[in-house]
Structure 1
């Protein structure tokens, strides 16, 4: 149930930014007018729309979730500073509180990193499986060396092949079979 709630929360948060970004991209003149009204450069309308769209899509698909959650949280706080700073206007206070709640959701997404059913989750699973395979291979090689050494009389010097991390031979090393009292 937690997985479904985390996925739904991530998608719902991302929809807000996807729709807002698309609105800025399809109606650039309105976004430019809003930016000019608060004293910002109207040239920021297109980059802001692209950022919101790309970051929203990244959240929806779970790509670099923590990074985009923090970036969007910062972006949302900056919008409070520029657009909703008049605390005497009740509507501005409501908008500022809404943006604070969105920032809280984004920071919770950053902190808990619910990555199930996301690209980040698939990548983490692949990395864990690869590490487990590597550990199994190292254990099998060590077991094979131990079995080979069991047949060698004590006190005998044996040369063993040395391999790099990928299993490619790099040379040999002399290994002395210890006597029973040399643990």
Structure 2
């Protein structure tokens, strides 16, 4: 049950990044407006789109979960700044949601993705390193 929960949890976290990929690819102007409003170059929407897609795929497949988990947590924390608008309750709920997702990504990075993961050929599994299951 623990391994299945880890898989479902990874897929649910990945859903956020899938949605981010689709939103930025279909309507980049919305994200570009947020970037411009923070004084950042609007072309950053494209690396963000690629990060969203890559993170989603890695989370679903269970590849490179430690570095992806840490990177996704950092991404969620940084992007939460765009939603820190205390006068707008909707934006504040997105701000808090980003921090909660960052927490889930940190737990994933620390604990691993369970048995249902694809391992990169250069990675040793936790079992191979310590004899304990990931």
Please, what TM-score do these two structures have when normalized by structure 1? 0.62
Correspondence for 1:116: 115
Q: Where does structure 2 lack aligned partners over 5 or more consecutive residues? A: 129-134
Correspondence for 2:106: 107
Count how many residue pairs are aligned between Structure 1 and Structure 2. 126
The 8 Å contact of residues 83 and 92 in structure 2, kept in 1 or not, is answered as yes
Q: CA RMSD in A?
A: 2.1
Tell which structure's C-alpha radius of gyration is larger: 1
Correspondence for 1:179: none
Correspondence for 1:67: 67
Q: Where does structure 1 lack aligned partners over 5 or more consecutive residues? A: 129-183
Matches of 1:2 and 1:57, distance apart in 2: 21
Matches of 1:124 and 1:79, distance apart in 2: 32
Post-superposition shift, 1:25?
1.9
Matches of 2:69 and 2:105, distance apart in 1: 5
The 8 Å contact of residues 69 and 106 in structure 1, kept in 2 or not, is answered as yes
Give the SS at the match of 1:69.
helix
Matches of 1:24 and 1:100, distance apart in 2: 20
The 8 Å contact of residues 11 and 60 in structure 1, kept in 2 or not, is answered as yes
Correspondence for 1:43: 43
Correspondences of 1:1-183 after superposition (within 5 Å): 1-81=1-81, 83-120=82-119, 124=124, 128=128
Please, what TM-score do these two structures have when normalized by structure 2? 0.83
Q: More strand per residue: 1 or 2?
A: 1
Matches of 2:27 and 2:85, distance apart in 1: 26
Q: For residues 98-146 of structure 1, give each alpha carbon's deviation from its aligned partner in whole angstroms, at most 9, with x where no partner exists.
A: 1111111111101111331111299646x84xxxxxxxxxxxxxxxxxx
CA gap of 1:86–1:27, structure 2 versus 1, over 3 A, is: closer
Q: More helix per residue: 1 or 2?
A: 2
Moved more, 46-55 or 21-30: 21-30
